Chain A
Amino acid sequence: MTMSCNQRCLSLVLVMISLFAAGCWDAKDVDQRSFVMGVAFDLSDTDEKIMMTIEIPILTSFASQSQSPQDAKSLLASTTGTSVAQMAARFETRTWRELFFGHTQCIIVSEDLARESILPIIDFFDRNPRIDRRLTLFISQGKADEVFHTQDPVESLVSIQLNQMLNTLTNTTRVVKRNFQDNLRDLESNGDTILPRVRSTETEVVIAGGALVKDYKFIAWLGENEARAVAFLYNSISGGVITVNVEDILYTFAVRSASTDIKPVLKDGQLSYKIKVRAEGDIVETFYRGPGGAVKFDIPKIQDRLNQVITDEILHLLTKLQEFKADPIGFDRLVYRHYPKFWKEHQENWKDQVWPKASFDVAANFNVRRTGILEEVTIYQSQG
Chain B
Amino acid sequence: MKLAKRIHHNIQFFQQQFNNSTDLVVRQFTINIPGIREIAGALIFFDGLISNQLITDSILDPILHEASQFQQPIDADILTFLKESVLTNAEHSETNDADKVTLAVMMGEVALLIDGYNTALTIAVQGWAHRSIQSSQSEGVIRGPRDSFVEAINPNLMLIRRRLRDPSLVFERIQIGNRGQNDVVIAYIKDIANEDLVLEVRKRLKKVDLDVILDSGYIEQLIEDDWWSPFNTIQDTERPDEVVAGLTEGRVAILVDNSPFALLAPTTFNTQMMSPEDYYVRWPAANFVRLIRFIASFVSFVTPSLYIALISFHPEMIPTQLALSVAASREGLPFPSFIEALIMELSLELLREAGIRLPGPIGQTIGIVGGLIVGEAAVNAGIVSPIMVIVVAMTAIAGFIVPTYTLSFGLRMSRFFLMIATSFFGLYGLTLGLLIILGHLATLTSFGVSYLSPWAPLNLKDLRDSVIRFPWHSLKQRPRYTLADDPTRQSQDTPKRGQNKQKRGKQ
Residues on A lying within 8 angstroms of B by beta carbon are: 19, 22-24, 26-31, 33, 35, 57, 59-64, 100, 102-103, 105, 130-132, 160
Contact = CB atoms under 8 A, between A and B. Distances in A.
11 contacts: A26-B313, A26-B426, A27-B313, A28-B313, A29-B311, A29-B330, A31-B331, A33-B315, A35-B327, A64-B329, A103-B320
Nearest to B337: A29
Contacts of B426: 26-27
B474 interface: no
Interface of B: 311-313, 315-316, 318, 320-321, 323-333, 336-337, 386, 423-426
Given A24-B423, A30-B312, A57-B324, 20 more contacts: A22-B424, A23-B424, A24-B424, A26-B426, A27-B313, A29-B336, A30-B311, A30-B315, A30-B326, A31-B331, A59-B324, A59-B327, A61-B328, A62-B325, A62-B328, A63-B329, A63-B331, A102-B316, A105-B320, A160-B320
Contact of B333 (A31, A57, A102): A31
B310 to A, nearest CB: 8
Nearest to A100: B315
Contacts of A30: 311-312, 315, 318, 323, 326-327, 330
A103 B316 contact: yes
B339 to A, nearest CB: 10
A60 B328 contact: yes
A59 B328 contact: yes
Given A24-B423, A31-B331, A63-B331, A102 B324 contact: no
A132 B314 CA distance: 12
Nearest to A159: B320
Contacts of B316: 100, 102-103, 130-132
Contact of B331 (A22, A23, A26, A59): A59
Which one of B325, B326, B327 has the greatest number of beta carbons of chain A within 10 Å?
B327
Contacts of A132: 316
A102 B315 CA distance: 7
A31 B318 CA distance: 14
Given A30-B311, A31-B333, A130-B316, A63 B424 contact: no
A103 B327 CA distance: 12
A23 B327 CA distance: 23
B324 A35 contact: yes
Contacts of B332: 31
Contacts of B327: 30-31, 33, 35, 59, 62
Contacts of A35: 315, 323-324, 327
Contacts of A28: 312-313
Contacts of A61: 328
Contacts of A131: 316
B115 to A, nearest CB: 62
Identify the interface centre among B315, B321, B426: most chain A CB within 10 Å of its CB. B315
A271 B82 CA distance: 121
B348 to A, nearest CB: 21
A103 B325 CA distance: 13
Contact of B312 (A22, A29, A105): A29
Contacts of B321: 160
B323 A63 contact: no
Nearest to B335: A29
Nearest to A57: B324
A103 B323 CA distance: 8
B424 to A, nearest CB: 3
Contacts of B323: 30, 35, 103
Contacts of A102: 315-316
A12 to B, nearest CB: 12
Nearest to B336: A29
A373 to B, nearest CB: 39
Contacts of B425: 23
A35 B323 CA distance: 9
B424 A19 contact: yes
A163 to B, nearest CB: 9
Contacts of A130: 316
Q: Which 9 pairs from chain A and chain B are nearest by CB?
A: A102-B316, A23-B424, A63-B328, A59-B328, A31-B330, A62-B328, A30-B327, A27-B312, A62-B324
Contacts of A31: 327, 330-333
A124 to B, nearest CB: 16
Contacts of B424: 19, 22-24
Nearest to B333: A31
Contacts of B330: 29-31
B324 to A, nearest CB: 5
A60 B325 CA distance: 9
A222 to B, nearest CB: 29
Name the residue in A24, A31, A64 with the highest tally of chain B Cβ atoms < 10 Å from its Cβ.
A31
A31 B320 CA distance: 14
Contacts of B315: 30, 33, 35, 100, 102-103
B277 to A, nearest CB: 39
B331 to A, nearest CB: 5
A69 to B, nearest CB: 15
A57 B322 CA distance: 13
A100 to B, nearest CB: 7
A131 B320 CA distance: 12
A19 B321 CA distance: 33
A26 B325 CA distance: 22
Contact of B423 (A27, A33, A64, A160): A27
A22 B326 CA distance: 27
A63 to B, nearest CB: 4
Nearest to B422: A27
A285 B43 CA distance: 109
The listed residue with most A CB atoms (<10 A of its CB), out of B328, B424, B425, is B328
Contacts of A103: 315-316, 320, 323-324
A127 B326 CA distance: 27
A35 B316 CA distance: 10
B327 to A, nearest CB: 4
Contacts of B312: 27-30
A27 B386 CA distance: 21
Contacts of B318: 30
A180 to B, nearest CB: 14
Contacts of B325: 62-64
A27 B424 CA distance: 8
Contacts of A105: 320
A64 B321 CA distance: 12
A61 B324 CA distance: 10
Nearest to B386: A64
A31 B329 CA distance: 9
A229 B423 CA distance: 51
Q: Which of A24, A26, A100, A131 counts the most chain B CB atoms within 10 A?
A: A24
B136 to A, nearest CB: 40
Contacts of A22: 424
A274 B236 CA distance: 73
B328 to A, nearest CB: 4
B344 to A, nearest CB: 15
A9 to B, nearest CB: 13
Contacts of A33: 315, 327
Most buried by B among A27, A60, A64: A27
B320 to A, nearest CB: 5
Contacts of A59: 324, 327-328, 331
